[in-house]
Chain A
């Protein structure tokens, strides 16, 4: 139903920047982390087991997925606790604003009407490349990519930022439910999504940060009538 993620079921040992070879892995003082991933690579239930219209849907990249934190410490879990409404974690590592836009369109085309949507918009210097005509096969591209298109994209002073703004504008106009939109501090200096602690890989926010983010998201949803 959605774009298949890069993480396949059972492959959690290979999660980006949270492998056992990471020096920080052994220093982690928190609980053991398990990644329960559905058949499409998302850290949530199988699609058919989700009651979409009674849920809050959370979109984003690795910090929504929750690389380096346990399931109960993710942004989605914190939102669930604060609202008593199940929050569906659609975070996918290494994804872009365009990826969130495509997944949103796939859900909107299924006429899904959630209670609310939360977007943590990824770094604008990432993008997607559709690899065939199916519409669901794509490559996530970013500063790790070598293609000419992304080199042009990354080196362009305005293209990434202007495009991200248009994705966000379009998505704001597309959902007919309360929606909260946040960009990361590196994209928006006024972003309330502060990183006040770190996850096990020390490259992503930690549990306290996600609790703070969830409070910001829920506040915004409530302002919009959630």
Chain B
């Protein structure tokens, strides 16, 4: 099985994307020794495809809960033990497979969903932590696996008209959510982080989650934010997992 690849992967590193050594040094100089992340080691343990979970053949798919999403789910800037997957596991007593991939979009999650369903993966439940619908996925060759991401940071090219459209991305996301609901034969839950919304999305049926602290990169959500999300998700999952 092959899922869409994670871009800029540094397997089993101490730094990752915006949580770079350069940014760490800059933040340390800015905040000093009292900074909560000063001297703290952040471990990124990833599988061969760059996902922060076991190798695919070692995953206990049918006994697990899957969680899809972007960098917030992957856990950029937080330690392996502080990711949403690791914090949720003890709350629900089930393995949680972290399928978060930094810098990805709605379609990325949808494509990975179809790949898993084609392999007849049937987990206990599925969680989507939906990325910003203003992001757009471009397929850069005929493999179907190599992609480029456009987002609100794009000022030209393929993704610009998607990014600047007031409705298309939001409505598209809602239909992708519908599609994910019908593709899985198990309960599906939808969440998103409020601060990631580029569009004013009033139509979505996702549960909104909030950021209350910062990861080591001082941009992504920190361990306390992620903990509150895990508690909320565990509450939502409780009824179906204990049937």
> Within residues 150 to 189 of chain B, which ones have a CB less than 8 A from any CB in chain A?
157-158, 160-162, 165, 167-168, 170-172, 174-175, 178-179, 182-183
Does B34 touch A at the CB level, under 8 Å? no
Contact B183 A174 (CB under 8 A): yes
Q: Which of A35-43, A63-71, A148-156 contacts B (4 or more CB under 8 A)?
A: A148-156
Query: Which chain B residue has the least Cβ–Cβ distance from A161?
Result: B142
Q: How far is the CA of A148 from the CA of B171 in the complex (A)?
A: 19
Contact B117 A173 (CB under 8 A): yes
Given contacts A148-B160, A156-B158, A162-B144, contact A170 B139 (CB under 8 A): no
Query: Which chain B residue has the least Cβ–Cβ distance from A139?
Result: B168
Does A105 touch B at the CB level, under 8 Å? yes
> Within residues 93 to 140 of chain A, which ones have a CB less than 8 A from any CB in chain B?
101-102, 105, 108-109, 129-135
> Within residues 124 to 139 of chain B, which ones have a CB less than 8 A from any CB in chain A?
138-139
Partner of A170, one of B110, B168, B202, B203: B110
> Within residues 143 to 176 of chain A, which ones have a CB less than 8 A from any CB in chain B?
147-149, 152, 156, 158-159, 161-163, 165-166, 169-170, 173-174
Q: Is the interface of A mostly helix, strand, loop or mixed?
A: helix
Query: Which chain A residue has the least Cβ–Cβ distance from B157?
Result: A152
Query: Which chain B residue has the least Cβ–Cβ distance from A162?
Result: B139
Given contacts A133-B202, A149-B161, A166-B111, contact A109 B142 (CB under 8 A): no
Q: How far is the CA of A108 from the CA of B179 in the complex (A)?
A: 9
Does B114 touch A at the CB level, under 8 Å? yes
Query: Which chain A residue has the least Cβ–Cβ distance from B111?
Result: A166
Does B118 touch A at the CB level, under 8 Å? yes
* Chain A residues whose C-beta falls within 8 Å of the C-beta of B171 in the assembled complex: 130, 133-135
How close is A170's CB to chain B, nearest CB, in angstroms? Answer: 5
Q: How far is the CA of A169 from the CA of B107 in the complex (A)?
A: 13
How close is B199's CB to chain A, nearest CB, in angstroms? Answer: 9
Contact A148 B161 (CB under 8 A): yes
* Chain B residues whose C-beta falls within 8 Å of the C-beta of A101 in the assembled complex: 175, 179
Q: Is the interface of B mostly helix, strand, loop or mixed?
A: helix
Given contacts A101-B175, A135-B174, contact A156 B165 (CB under 8 A): no
Which interface residue of A101, A149, A156, A161 has the most chain B CB atoms within 10 A? A149
Given contacts A108-B178, A174-B182, contact A156 B203 (CB under 8 A): no
Does B239 touch A at the CB level, under 8 Å? no
* Chain B residues whose C-beta falls within 8 Å of the C-beta of A109 in the assembled complex: 178, 182
Q: How far is the CA of A156 from the CA of B142 in the complex (A)?
A: 11
* Chain B residues whose C-beta falls within 8 Å of the C-beta of A174 in the assembled complex: 179, 182-183
Name 30 interchain pairs, CB-CB below 8 A, sorted by A. A101-B175, A102-B175, A105-B175, A109-B182, A130-B168, A130-B170, A130-B171, A130-B172, A131-B167, A133-B167, A133-B171, A133-B203, A134-B171, A135-B175, A148-B161, A149-B162, A152-B157, A152-B158, A158-B142, A159-B139, A162-B142, A162-B144, A166-B110, A166-B114, A166-B144, A169-B114, A170-B114, A170-B179, A173-B114, A174-B183
Give chain B's interface residues, CB within 8 Å of chain A.
107, 110-111, 113-114, 117-118, 138-142, 144, 157-158, 160-162, 165, 167-168, 170-172, 174-175, 178-179, 182-183, 202-203
